[in-house]
Amino acid sequence: MIGVCSFLFVAVAYAIGPHSERALTAVTGERRDVSLDLSPGAQRTEVYDSMGEKMGILRYDVDRELVTLATIPVEAIETFLAVEDDKFWLHNGVDLRATVRAMISNVAAGGINQGGSTITQQIVKLRVVGNERSFNRKIREAVLASRLEEEFSKEEILEFYLNEVYFGNGAYGLQAAAETYFGKSADSLDVGDAAFLAGLIRSPSIFDGFKNIGMMSKRRSMSLQRAEDEAIINSEERAEYEKRALPDRNRSPQKTSDTLKRDYFLDEVTEALLKHPALGETYQERFAKVYGGGLRVWTTFDTSIQRAMEEARSNIFSAGGLAEENWSLEQFEKLEVAMAAVEPSTGAVRAFVGGAEFSESQFNLATQGERQPGSSFKPYVLASAIETAGLVPYDTISGLGPCEFPNPPNVDYIVNNFNRSEGLVGSLEQMVLKSSNCGFVRLGLRTGLADVAETADQILGRSSEDRFKPFISISLGAQEVTPLEQAIGYSVFANDGIRMEPYYISRIEDPNGELIYYHVPTGKRVLSESTAAWVTSALKSNVEMGTGRRSQLENGQVSAGKTGTAQDFRDAWFVGYTPQLSAAVWIGNPNEMMSMGKSGTGGKVPATIWSSFMSKALEDQLLETFTLPPPRQRTSQLVFVPSEICEVDIALGLGRGAMKFELPCGMVRPDQLSGKFIPHEDAVCRVTELWSTDVYKNEYIPCALVSSRNPVIDPASLLDDET
């Protein structure tokens, strides 16, 4: 024994002699200057829906979730210690016997060949001294390990280690490892699981837990032998664990759960987090917290609403749905559906369908797909007419077409009603029900195109960079919007004129449960309550008896909405709302301007999808009502564009039929029976008559007397240059 000890002493002295100066420097300097802490490494961020169910995980290259020592089964902990550091509870950071044994092996090998490190030393290596293979590093490691044991309890050190250590395949810490290899939580690990994971710790980057089956089988057997040696299990239990199949694929919920797969909503939440001021001033700071800060993020996502959306879309595009709409399979395969739903009272974005499967295309049609809204833009024109021009839905306007308007410096703007309908003269509400193009172009001009653009900007939340342009075509939805914008815009009508700021994130906590951010809904009044109520009244009538009849809800819940069809049937919309929810549906081809034919109108497929979706989403909710508009305070007035000419038909009597006359719109009034204009009692018409001198002359006579005269020329206009 004396001889052996003498040999060991000489061997150790021989090994450390050349490094003694640096070693002594490390002893004095490291213990004094190096900062030691057990703050956790990068952790994954977990995202939850509005009901607190986990819906996604955000991480970069590190998958880690912290667990406490108390939640890990005792047998699993004992197995790890038996393999990694069987004297953990006894030593003060360094196991001298293991160190001497490793040193003898290293001397014999002529370099660093064997570790002998305790768990405490492994932590120091991970956090401070690194992987340099030298005696100097080992001495520093031992010195700092003893200091770590002085400053932290054994339980703190072990818990940190089990959360910090790398198990391969991106799994850092015991929780991620349990999920990755076994598809379970760390609190469900048994001795067999722990034996496999313990075998990974020494070389996780070299021996892949899924590929190196032979090596991992040997390592697990060695770990089980250590567990038996320490009386954690008996021989029969060991034999049973040996029979267990090794992990063969990644069983992490991130890989296997549809709920946790990256999708359109989670992608929008991620973007919102990366811009969130509560997470840092710079993008780099925010990125580090989002992908490695271990945040807990609660969102506005509603799983039941999302499911209702997807079911409604699937049902309409089934074989039966296609047959009913006379769409071919070829047409169907080229079409996509985008949907968005917003809670009017808070601004919470509840769900959306962004198009095809997220794995196929990351372009979100609900938030990025800008398309022409067609007639679904008309409610913003109506809102502006009421809010800024003092009009009301029972005022009268001409919807007669085709209609033509000067548009300098461009050519005149010519408009046709849908299906080239002649149209009628009626109330603004009737223009909504008929979706009259000529009526709304006139209404936009009468209101003022700049006011229409400003009102739409306020309702949809457009900034100075993307404001609507006051072009004459604005009233017909020629400028593009997204489905989410539309859902937000109509939510203003549902919320009595208050635009709530849309949001995805309701709460953010750090890994310790400390609150970082809590969303308080904020809103801004952009329309008066009466204006919002008037618009809602018109859009409610549109659902009941206008172009939106297909959108009515099965449970009797009152709703309001508007159809939209872009030029050549390229885009079809239905946007509507109840007091509880506002939603937009768009159908079209996102990659080309493809006509869907006459089946591609907003009143058909989009309205049907909207009805199916909203009926399902609201089936368990109490019926609610809209705010009623104020009572009439004046009689209806005729609304027309200044200097506009209105056409009237005057009967000539005696079977001679009728003759068309063009009068200033101030000289006509609507005829309820015909839906056209008739002249006022005091209106004058210009007629051309043949005098006895064989000369044709123009005369201006009361229009009521036209039938008693003998006009011979169909006058082109009442007003000429001289007038």
Is residue 395's pLDDT more than 60? yes
Residues of the chain with CATH 3.40.710.10: 342-506+519-617
Task: State mean pLDDT over 115-132.
Answer: 78
Say if residues 637 and 396 touch (Cβ distance below 8 Å). Answer: yes
pLDDT in tens, 446-468: 999 999 999 999 999 998 889 99
- Asked if residues 620 and 566 have their Cβ atoms less than 8 Å apart, the reply is no
402: cis peptide before it, omega within 30°? yes
C-alpha–C-alpha distance, residues 626 and 267, integer Å? 34
In total, the chain counts a number of residues equal to 723
For the domain made up of 342-506+519-617, the CATH class stated in words is alpha beta
In sequence order, the 6+-apart residues with CB closer than 8 A to the CB of 367 are: 264, 268, 340, 352, 354, 482, 483, 484
- pLDDT tens digits, 12-55: 555 555 554 554 554 555 555 667 778 888 999 999 999 999 99
Output the six-digit token pair for 531.
Answer: 């204006």
- Write out the DSSP string of 122-176: HHHIIIIITT--SHHHHHHHHHHHHHHHHHS-HHHHHHHHHHH-B-STTBBHHHH
Model confidence at 160: pLDDT above 50 = yes
Tokens 């290259």 found at: 61
Nearest-angstrom CA–CA distance, 327 and 324: 8
- The pLDDT of residue 593 is 73
Q: Which CATH superfamily is domain 61-256 in?
A: Biosynthetic peptidoglycan transglycosylase-like (1.10.3810.10)
Q: What are the strands of the beta sheet with 425-427, ordered from one edge?
A: 425-427, 396-398, 638-639
pTM (two decimals): 0.83
Domain with CATH 1.10.3810.10 in the chain: 61-256
pLDDT in tens, 474-529: 999 999 999 999 999 999 999 999 999 999 999 999 998 999 999 999 999 999 99
Token duo for residue 599: 């089946």
Reported as a single tens digit per residue, the pLDDT across 195-226 is: 999 999 887 766 677 878 888 899 999 999 99
Instruction: Return d(Cα 661, Cα 658) in angstroms, integer.
Output: 10
